[in-house]
Chain A
Amino acid sequence: MKKGFKTEIKIDEASSPRLNGYNFAYLDEGTKRMIRRALLKAIAIPGYQVSFGSREMPLPYGWGTGGIQVTASLIGPDDTLKVIDQGSDDTTNAVSIRRFFTLTTGVKTTEKTSVATLIQTRHRIPETPLRPGQIIVYQVPIPEPLRFLEPRETETRRMHALSEYGIMSIKLYEDISIHGRIATAYNYPVLVNERYVMSPSPIPKFDNPKMDRNPALQLFGAGREKRIYAVPPYTRVKSLDFEDYPFRVERGEQSCALCGSRESFLDEIITDDRGTRLFACSDTDYCQRRHTEGQRGSFSGMPLLAAKRLQREA
């Protein structure tokens, strides 16, 4: 380690796979403190977007720079990290972010939701219910739910301050008038703690009910937009709707081809160019756990690894 770098965290250098020359978790301690202060403010005001001095990270904007900074400022040597991308532990984004933290912190990583203390996610909430003490960090591309209707940041901030949320219904109105139902299927706006309207990040609306009164701490980081927001444990999260068109989770009739689950959120996987397809859990950890428990879907004849490879390639 270079002279001048100060690390407050002592770890066993010899047994760690950690890279030399970088501070623990890449960010310097001053930056981490700045982000932690923003996080504390965000937790104190559920759903409120706190601005923070987002740093350049060694990956492009839109790949999770906000989420990575939040994770980096929270992670400690005793943490067990899980990283998922669209529910899957082995897609490019998840693999590279997990590798990034392995190299810069040397912490244990896991694919098991139940074992992880810190979960960074892109576009999904794990099927396995989160437990108290866990932290889930969402990667957020556009933190401002009002942006669709109001391009001015000064105006959206004022609208949040005064709770002028009537126009949020316009998007839902448009959906019903065009499609006959609320067709927004992801990034479905929510009201947090009966005060702030918040973008849940582009998770499917299937996951929205999981945010409501969740025992885990939910943190949201938007690197390009330089915003952090949070939903503390057990906070009320309500999806916006109309009285005569209430919020409804939609799920197809299909079951997972690998584990047979009829409750999980499914990915559609095209298996050839003649229209054959199969559906499999988007949450690979959940699917694998069910599989080891002996649950089987219609595709049970296929070795799990081959099926997972198919899923990865899709």
Chain B
Amino acid sequence: MVWEDRPLLRALKVTKYFGKRVGCCDVSFDLWPGEVLGIVGESGSGKTTLLQCLSGHWVPSSGRVYYGEGTNGLADIYELPEPRRRYLMRTEWGFVHQNPREGLRLRVSAGANVGERLMALGFRHYGGIRADVLNWFHRVEIDRDRVDDFPTTFSGGMLQRLQIARNLITKPRLTFMDEPTGGLDVSVQARLLDLLKGLVSELSLSVVIVTHDLAVVRLIAHRLLVMQQGKVVESGLTDQVLDDPQHPYTQLLVSSVIQA
């Protein structure tokens, strides 16, 4: 494994206002290659706003987001030319939506959904694309004979796995996940997390994962940010934050989990 001496993603005082309302405020952190960063907090605490700012979708009101791009060192993603930013978004980055229907094209087949990023990159060999797609169906544990079915015929868990395959097929360096296990039943959640954990270590993915589910970050995240009312109130290694919470809000969050 090659150790890199610079972070992959650096957030510097990222702040987003919606009029007078605060989305997120003064969020700073570094994400290193191969690292999984969890962002937890209650509903409305600014997790998704932060994720949208980090992933190039919403321009922050102030603050900067840097991305370790190529050999050029860290570049402010909002100062990159738009074609370049959009290119990064569909090659080196992935975005897994909470609702897989937002991240998929429902009117084309599952296989075309997974192959889309390859075609967007300029691959024009059907046989090659098809083989790669089938390989990814296998990796995310979807039957290969479902490759030509429409996503609308898939179950919720399968859709989420399909969305993950669609994002990971170009081997992105950085993946953003917004509640990837939300809305799935517990056993499906467990299998999906297992799958994600495997893929993360296999591809040495860097991930920013937003969730309100502490069990999810316990399993998958190396480091945690705890957010409340748009601000980061606590950060640290996952086990440290969850086992020895310092901030009153984190203590409340940890103690609210029902022990099964």
Q: Point out residues on A near B: beta carbons under 8 Å.
A: 149, 162, 164, 166-167, 169-171, 173-174, 176-178, 241-245
CA distance A245 to B111 in the complex (A): 17
Contacts of B121 in A (CB 8 A): 166
Q: Which of B123-131, B179-187, B250-258 contacts A (4 or more CB under 8 A)?
A: B123-131
CA distance A173 to B148 in the complex (A): 10
Contacts of B109 in A (CB 8 A): 174, 177-178
**Apart from A162-B82, A170-B108, A177-B147, what are 16 other A-B pairs with CB-CB below 8 Å?**
A164-B86, A166-B119, A166-B121, A169-B119, A169-B124, A170-B105, A173-B112, A174-B109, A177-B111, A241-B124, A242-B124, A242-B126, A243-B126, A244-B125, A244-B126, A245-B126
CA distance A241 to B119 in the complex (A): 12
Contacts of A162 in B (CB 8 A): 82-83, 86
The A interface is mostly helix, strand or loop, or mixed, namely: loop
Q: Which residue of A lies closest to B148 (CB)?
A: A177
Given contacts A149-B105, A162-B83, A177-B112, contact A167 B125 (CB under 8 A): no
Contact with A along B64-90 (1 / 0, CB 8 A): 000000000000000000110010000
B120 within 8 A of A: yes
* Contacts across chains A and B counted by CB atoms under 8 Å: 53
Q: Which of A149, A167, A171, A173 has the most CB of B within 10 A?
A: A173
Q: Which residue of B lies closest to A172 (CB)?
A: B126
A-B contact pairs, 6 of them (CB 8 A): A169-B124, A173-B129, A177-B111, A178-B148, A242-B125, A245-B126
Contacts of B116 in A (CB 8 A): 166-167, 170
B115 within 8 A of A: yes
Given contacts A162-B82, A244-B125, contact A173 B120 (CB under 8 A): no
Name the one of B86, B112, B127, B148 contacting A244, with C-beta atoms under 8 angstroms. Answer: B127
Contacts of B119 in A (CB 8 A): 166-167, 169-170, 173
Contacts of B124 in A (CB 8 A): 169, 241-243
CA distance A87 to B116 in the complex (A): 37
